[in-house]
Amino acid sequence: MTIRKVNIVILVLAIVLFLLVLHHNFLSLNSLLRNEVSDSGILGLQPIDFVPNAPRSDGDEREEIPVVIAASEDRLGGAIAAINSIQQNTRSNVIFYIVTLNNTADHLRSWLNSGSLKNIRYKIVNFDTALLEGKVKEDPGQGESMKPLTFARFYLPILVPSAKKAIYMDDDVIVQGDILALYNTPLKPGHAAAFSEDCDSTSAKVVIRGAGNQYNYIGYLDYKKERIRKLSMKASTCSFNPGVFVANMTEWKRQNITSQLEKWMRLNAEEGLYSRTLAGSITTPPLLIVFYQQHSTIDPMWNVRHLGSSAGKRYSPQFIKAAKLLHWNGHFKPWGRTASYTDVWEKWYVPDPTGKFSLIRRHMEISNIK
């Protein structure tokens, strides 16, 4: 009996020891998985936080839709309005990857944690401007060179390393349709991205007449340069707008799209390959080169643009209402005083709880004069 009792005690102790080891291993695995979710682990882009605070039902296996958007301090209200419009118009499982600089992260986080934005699932990623060293030449005539976040779209595999597909969009947009429809855009085999072409877009048909070189490759690239001519790209080829696009991340990585884009950034910094006709853009030309005749197209109603220019005022209210995505590309932004259809944009704007960001409106200027 005594020997039997000793054996039982030993057995019990062995079971307890086994359970303790199992528990320890489980905690270690759980910690590892958490670290994988919150750490991109790739040079230049560092995660700040990941907030999966949206309610999810047990067994919810809906595909995650990654939406990448850049958020600079001076345009933060634009990013907030874009994010809110996407969230409110879908029941899909959207995760926002918000690319910003360190000095903006706290401001952004406090805004996202307020009021109606609390249920948004997001990841804030810091953009290391050292990535652009030797690739962007400072030029006072080209404003984008002073805005590093505009190049975030070139680094999608780093931003969303585990995604098979992702959406990128600028911060000066409002989404009125279900983002799932844009995400489901079919891409042809071998194509790493789908854009809205300029010449054939609904926007161009409604708005632009006599646009000249604005919608062709010659408007973006300097065909006097031998390196450009050697590419044998037709100067009359229709350009596309890179402010909204869907990316096949598997193809993007396979084709080393990011490395190709960086190559042309370096060459332009050394040789000045971009056209001065459309001096405001230095992100579009490398994309036009890399994706020449190798991209799919999105539904043009998913990038109704030019609302940030005088041309945008020619749209009818009915057309604006029917658009799936409105894009205020151009000089006049909807948080400013001279853009078209600011009332549509303001429906989705959430006031800054810190008071740092405020809208500029004409009636405010008049009241200040008085």
Whether 330 is covered by a domain: the verdict is: yes
Beta bridge partners of 97: 68, 123
Whether 52 is covered by a domain: the verdict is: no
Whether 87 is covered by a domain: the verdict is: yes
Residue 13 burial by CB count (10 A; 0-12/13-18/19+): exposed, middle or buried? exposed
Nearest C-alpha neighbor of 50 from the set 118, 119, 96: 96
Sequence-distant (6+) residues with CB within 8 A of 240 are: 195, 196, 197, 198, 287, 288, 291, 295, 297
CA–CA separation, 132 and 38 (whole Å): 24
Whether 129 is covered by a domain: the verdict is: yes
Range of the domain at 168: 65-211+241-256+292-347
Number of domains the chain contains: 1
Residue 197 DSSP one-character state: E
Backbone angles phi, psi at 173, to 5 degrees: -125, 160
CA–CA separation, 148 and 72 (whole Å): 9
Residue 2 parent element (H or E): helix 2-38
Whether 184 is covered by a domain: the verdict is: yes
CA–CA separation, 179 and 91 (whole Å): 9
The CATH number given to whatever domain includes residue 314 is 3.90.550.10
CB atoms near residue 130 (< 10 Å): 10
Whether 134 is covered by a domain: the verdict is: yes
Whether 96 is covered by a domain: the verdict is: yes
- pLDDT digits (tens), the chain, 370 positions: 566 665 666 766 677 666 665 554 444 333 322 222 332 333 445 555 554 444 454 455 788 999 999 999 999 999 999 999 999 999 999 999 999 998 999 999 999 998 889 899 999 999 989 999 999 887 655 544 468 999 999 999 999 999 999 999 999 999 999 999 999 999 999 999 999 998 865 555 554 444 445 689 999 999 999 999 999 999 999 999 999 999 999 999 999 999 999 999 999 999 999 987 655 578 999 999 999 999 999 999 999 998 998 766 788 999 999 999 999 998 899 999 888 999 999 999 999 999 999 998 765 443 343 3
Asked if 50 and 37 count as a contact pair (C-beta separation under 8 A), the reply is yes
Which two tokens mark 290? 């890399």
Whether 333 is covered by a domain: the verdict is: yes
